[in-house]
Amino acid sequence: MGEARDDAAADPVPGAAAGGPAVPGTAGDRPVAASGVPTVPAAGPGDVPVPGASPAGDEEPPSLRLMTYNIKGLHLDAAAVAAVVRAQSPDVLAVQEPPRGPLGRRRLDRLARRAGLVPLVRGGGARTTALLVAPGLPTGPARALRLPWRPGRTRRGAVLAQVAGVQVLVVHLGLSAGERSRHLDRLLAAVDPAGGPLVVMGDLNEQPTGASWRRLGGRLTDAAVLGGGGVATFPAARPRLRIDAVLVEAGDEESPPPTPGRVARVVHAVRGRRSGAGRVPGVAAAAPGRAGLVVLGSWVPGGPVVARASDHRPVVVDVRPAAPAAGAGR
């Protein structure tokens, strides 16, 4: 069967409507997963705990939970993948290595249902990526981006979508440094400079010292930096490499300390710290005149279910819009 056109509109999200609130609340109140799907067990020694729900209250700002996860085509344990995702209750799930082949779309749709999400972009030019979102989440334009390919290399793609006022770019970069650089040229050129704050989520296939990661860091902030360092994500059973990340266009606002219940049980809770020299090293602020995001929490789940679900561990990040700068809009 032929692939979908590169920049064709993605499959619509049932119940989604453009122009909704800038960033809705987290999806922690979605129904419990259908019976038969295993749950992630309570954290044991050496496990990364599952975060608690955000406390209720009128002062709690709206937030968005982002999750990126290389699911290895659902070849290892599809039910465990669904359990891992469901336990984190993301609003936005960036998928790398979705299932392919004649039954690939059906298997990804089944994962979405088990996790309480709906597909926004999958198949066609997206190839090695897909994007799932919470039902009813406001969405705008969404498209698959087919990336340049050479014989002998994996055919790769990406997803670019407006979700809840945020510009989401889902990537699965190649194994060659040169290919990663060429693909980034195409991807960054596709970003709408007038769109919402940019978030890049995915499997970068290199560590933070790599050229592509550092290039992205010129305009975006690695969410883990604000927490004092990242956690390895690959291989899942005994992680040694940090190659999966969420990078955000940070607002010029200090990230708050973790609030009880939100990230109190998270190993790498994010604290934005400033010094006399200015912003935290490695934190790139949004361009003047552009809104940015505040990172509320960043963590890497672990445990036996995560270890058997895929060969990667996921990365989860909570964000909210930054407060407008003083004098903005005058």
Q: What is the pLDDT of residue 265?
A: 30
Task: Provide the domain count of the chain.
Answer: 1
Which stretch of DSSP H or E encloses residue 177? helix 177-190
Q: Is residue 32 part of a domain?
A: no
Give exposure, 250-260, as e/b (b: 16+ Cβ within 10 Å).
bbbbebbebbe
Q: Is residue 22 part of a domain?
A: no
pTM of structure? 0.75
Contact 234, 244 (CB under 8 A): yes
Q: Is residue 248 part of a domain?
A: yes
Q: What is the pLDDT of residue 327?
A: 53
Q: Is residue 115 part of a domain?
A: yes
Secondary structure letter of residue 124 according to DSSP: G
Q: Is residue 4 part of a domain?
A: no
Burial of 42: CB neighbours in 10 Å, binned 0-12, 13-18, 19+: exposed
Write out the two tokens for 21.
């609130």
CA separation for the pair 116, 136 (Å, rounded): 11
Q: What is the pLDDT of residue 39?
A: 37
E-assigned strand segments in 118-197: 118-121, 129-133, 139-146, 157-163, 166-172
Q: What is the DSSP string of 270-321?
A: -----BTTBSPTT-PBPPTT---EEEEEEE---SHHHHHH-SS--EEEEEEE
CA separation for the pair 23, 164 (Å, rounded): 5
> For residue 287, what are the contacts with CB-CB under 8 A and spacing of at least 6?
219
> Domain of 269?
64-321
Q: What is the pLDDT of residue 153?
A: 82
Q: Is residue 330 part of a domain?
A: no
Q: What is the pLDDT of residue 326?
A: 55
- Cα distances from 115 to residues 39, 88, 127, in angstroms, run 11, 9, 21
What tens-digit pLDDT sequence spans the chain (330 residues)? 433 333 333 333 333 333 333 333 333 333 333 333 333 433 343 444 444 444 444 455 589 999 999 999 999 999 999 999 999 999 999 999 999 888 999 999 999 999 999 999 998 888 999 999 999 999 999 999 999 888 878 889 999 999 999 999 999 999 999 999 999 999 999 999 988 999 999 999 999 999 999 999 999 999 998 754 579 999 999 999 999 999 999 876 665 554 433 332 333 333 332 222 223 334 455 555 567 999 999 999 999 999 999 999 999 999 999 877 655 544
Q: Is residue 133 part of a domain?
A: yes
Q: Is residue 191 part of a domain?
A: yes
Where residue 217 sits, what CATH number does that domain have?
3.60.10.10
